[in-house]
């Protein structure tokens, strides 16, 4: 009969956690904003889109001329009802907007939809460029 002590159980749990952590670190990164032009299992990409979401027209496309160096849109621009949504790409590949700054999402389309949800029918006001 095995003598399973608390110390042995905790040691085994720590070893499993370390192994799982190493596997997560060594796994290949998943890019949230690829520009492949294909839909991969329902995940949005950073390609052009134009749709009506909850009664609001949202559009997204690669920025003409690559964007200004002070902008953080990763070479991408999004509009809600024709007004540009200030968009930023994080280092981990997620996207945030001026409307949903603390809620990163996987794609520019998801950022536009999140902004529409947050606006709750209010108009998007232009964000002043510095």
Q: Which residues contact 72 (CB under 8 A, 6 or more apart)?
A: 87, 88, 89
CATH superfamily, domain at 49-119: protein ne1242 domain like (3.30.1880.10)
C-alpha neighbours within 13 Å on the C-beta side of residue 90: 17
114, containing H or E segment: helix 108-119
pLDDT digits (tens, 9 = 90+) for 44-89: 445 899 999 999 999 999 987 654 444 555 688 999 999 999 999 9
Mean per-residue pLDDT over the chain, rounded? 75
The pTM of the full predicted model, rounded to 2 decimals, is 0.60
Q: What pLDDT does residue 21 have?
A: 57
CA distance 73 to 79: 12
Q: How many CB atoms lie within 10 A of CB 106?
A: 18
62 strand-pairing partners: 76
CA distance 46 to 40: 12
CA distance 96 to 101: 5
């Amino acid at each position: 009969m095995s003598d399973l002590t608390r110390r042995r159980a905790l040691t085994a749990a720590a070893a499993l956690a370390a192994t799982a952590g190493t596997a997560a670190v060594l796994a290949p990164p998943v890019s949230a904003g690829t520009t492949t032009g294909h839909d991969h299992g329902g995940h949005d990409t950073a390609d052009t889109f134009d749709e009506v979401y909850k009664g609001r027209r949202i559009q997204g496309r690669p920025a003409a001329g690559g964007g200004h160096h002070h902008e953080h849109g990763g070479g991408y621009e999004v509009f809600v009802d024709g007004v540009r949504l200030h968009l930023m790409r994080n280092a981990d590949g997620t996207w945030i907007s001026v409307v949903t700054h603390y809620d990163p999402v996987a794609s520019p389309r998801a950022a536009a939809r999140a902004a529409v949800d947050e606006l709750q029918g209010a108009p998007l006001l232009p964000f002043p460029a510095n």
